Amino acid sequence: MKHSIQSKLPNVGTTIFTVMSALATKHNAINLGQGFPDFAMNEKLTGLVSEAMKSGNNQYVHMCGLPLLRERLAEKVNHDYGCNINPDSEITVTPGGTYAIYTAFTTILQPGDEVILFEPAYDSYVPNIEINGGVAIGIPLLYPDYAIDWKRVKEKVNSKTKAIIINTPHNPTGSVLSAEDIEQLRSIVKDTGIFIISDEVYEHLIFDQKEHLSMLRYPDLLERSFVCFSFGKVYHCTGWKLGYCIAPSEIMKEFRKVHQFNCFTCHSPTQYALAEFLTEKNQYLELGFFLQQKRDFFQSLMQQTRLKPLPSFGSYFQLYSYEGVSDDSEKDFAIKLTQEAGVATIPVSAFYKNPIDNKVLRFCFAKKEATLEVAVNRLIKYFN
Ligand code: PMP
Ligand code: GLN
C-alpha cells in the first residue's frame, strides 16, 4: 500500500514570510517584507559567543536553560516590570518566541478548546492552535487604529474558552495595549479559568514614550499567563532563534514536560554570552529610541509617495494604505510591487484566517538608512 498522510494542517500553505522573501530574491527586490534587521548586531555580543565556544562551553546546558542566564533574566524582568520571578521554576529558555507560544498551546489545549485571538494576528497562532486540536476564534481589530473590540470579546467568551492570546507591541500593525485594555482584559478573565498567552517579543521596540504593559506587571494576570519573549528581536539576531517563556511554577511544570521531549535544551554558547551581555541594560533600554528614529526616517521618505501611513507605536513595522492608488487585492499589489517596483512587503490580509482586505501593506523599517532610501526611491519612481 502507498504511504499517505492525513494532513494535520490541511488548509495551511507556506508562510507568507517565506513566499515574499523568495519572490524578493527572484526579482532582486529590496526586502521590506519579512521582519529582520539588515544592520550588524553588537560585536561585543558576537565576541562573547566566540569566547564561550573557545572556552569549551559547547555541551548541553540544563534543560530549562543555563541557570546563570535564567538568574539574569529574573533580575531583568524585576528591573523592567517590578515582578519577582523564580529563575529555577518560572523561566524556561526556548528556541525562539514562536516555539514558546507553540509549547504553551500544546501544554493547555484539549480537542475542542477555544482560543480567542485578534486579527490581523501573527501567522503562526492559528496553525499552532489547530494542530493542538483547538479552535481559533478570530476577532478583527478595529480598522484603522487596530484597537481591540472588547464588547466582541465578552460576547465570544464561553465555557469552551481556554485562552486569549495577546501581542503587544503588535505584529503587523504596530499597535500597543493601553492601561484601559489591561483593565478590560482583567475584568474578562477574572473568576474564569482562562489562560493568557502573551506574545511580548517586541517588548523593547516601543515608541513615543509609550510604556510596554507586560503581563509581568500585573500579579492577577501573571498567575494565568505564559509570557513569551525572543532574544532575536532585542539583539538584532533573529537567526539565533533563542527566546524564553515565563509562567507561574505550577503552569511552567507542565510546559516543561512538553519542552523536554521536543527540544530538551537550547544552543549553549549563546546562552553563556547572553547571560553576560544582559547586565548591560542600556543595550536593550535604548532600542525603542533607535527604532523610533528608523520609523521616523522611513515615514519622512515615504511622504514622497501616495501611500498613507497608519499609526505605528512599536515593533519593526509600519502599515501603509494604498487606497485610491490601486484596486488590486493586497496580495496582488504586494506581488506587483515586488515584481515591478522592486520592493517586497507583506499583505496584511495574510494575517487573517478569513482574509479581510483593507488595502494595507506591512513594511519593515528595521533596515539601514541606505536600504530604506533605495527602497523608497524605487517606489517614488514606480508611482510617478
Ligand atoms: N511573535 C511575533 C509577533 C513575531 O513577530 C515573531 C517574530 N518572528 C515571533 C513571535 C517569534 O520570534 P522567534 O523568531 O524568536 O521565534
Ligand atoms: N516575525 C517576522 C515577521 O513578522 C518573521 C518571522 C518568520 O519569517 N517566520 O516578519
Phi and psi at residue 145, in whole multiples of 5°?
Answer: -85, -15
What is the C-alpha separation between 180 and 24, in angstroms, rounded? 40
Return the bridge partners of 136, or none. 115
CB–CB of 174/318 below 8 Å?
yes
Cβ-based neighbours of 131, under 8 Å, separated by 6 or more: 8, 9
Report how far residue 339's alpha carbon sits from residue 26's, in angstroms, rounded to the nearest whole number: 9
The residue whose C-alpha atom lies closest to atom 5 belonging to ligand 1 is 171
At the topology level of CATH, where does 59-280 sit?
Aspartate Aminotransferase; domain 2 (3.40.640)
Fold of 16-41+285-383: Aspartate Aminotransferase, domain 1 (3.90.1150)
Nearest CA to ligand 2 atom 1: 35
In ligand 1, which atom is closest to the CA atom of 101? 10
Q: How far is CA 221 from CA 55, 214, 344, in A?
A: 41, 10, 39
Burial (CB count <10 Å: 0-12, 13-18, 19+), residue 239 = exposed
The residues of the chain that CATH labels 3.40.640.10 are 59-280
Sheet with 135-140, side-by-side order of all strands: 91-94, 243-246, 225-230, 195-199, 161-167, 114-119, 135-140
CA of 98 to the centre of ligand 2 (A): 10
Q: How far apart are CA 258 and CA 95, in angstroms?
A: 13
Q: Tell me, what amino acid is at 288?
A: G
Burial of 220 (0-12, 13-18, 19+ CB in 10 A): exposed
- Write out pLDDT tens, residues 173-231: 999 999 999 999 999 999 999 999 999 999 999 999 999 999 999 999 999 999 999 99
- Determine if ligand 1 sits within 6 Å of the CB of residue 168: no
User: CA–CA separation, 264 vs 59, rounded Å?
Assistant: 13
Are 347 and 114 a contacting pair, CB within 8 Å? no
Cα distance between residue 244 and residue 231, in whole Å? 8
Ligand 2 midpoint to CA 19 (Å): 11
Alpha carbon distance 40, 235 (integer Å): 10
Candidates 98, 102, 238: which one to mutate for ligand 2, based on the most atoms within 8 Å of Cβ?
238
- Spell out, as residue ranges, where the chain has pLDDT lower than 70: none
pLDDT tens for each residue of 289-343: 999 999 999 999 999 999 999 999 999 999 999 999 999 999 999 999 999 999 9
Ligand 2 atom nearest to CA at 17: 8
| Displacement of CA 74 from its chain's centroid (Å) | 21
Amino acid at 179: A
Domain with CATH 3.90.1150.10 in the chain: 16-41+285-383
Q: Which ligand lies nearest to the CA atom of residue 230 in the structure?
A: 1
Residue position matching grid coordinates 548541553: 60
Q: Which residues contact 125 (CB under 8 A, 6 or more apart)?
A: 101, 115, 117, 136, 165
Instruction: For ligand 2, atom 9, name the residue with the nearest CA.
Output: 17
Supply the pLDDT for residue 1: 80
Terminal C-alpha separation, the chain: 60
**Whether residue 17 has its Cβ less than 6 Å from ligand 2:** yes
Considering only the C-alpha atoms of the chain, give the largest distance between any 2 of them, rounded to a whole number of Å: 63
Residue 161 phi, psi (nearest 5): -70, 115
**CB of 46 sitting under 6 A from ligand 2:** no
Q: Is 230 in the pocket of ligand 1 (CB under 6 A)?
A: yes
Number of DSSP helices (H) and strands (E) in the chain, helices first = 15, 13
96 Cβ closer than 6 Å to some ligand 1 atom = yes
Q: Which ligand 2 atom minimizes the distance to the CA of 18?
A: 8
Rounded Cα–Cα distance for residues 299 and 293 (Å): 10
Q: What is the DSSP letter of 170?
A: P
- pLDDT, residue 231, reads 98
Q: Which three cell numbers stand for residue 29?
A: 527586490
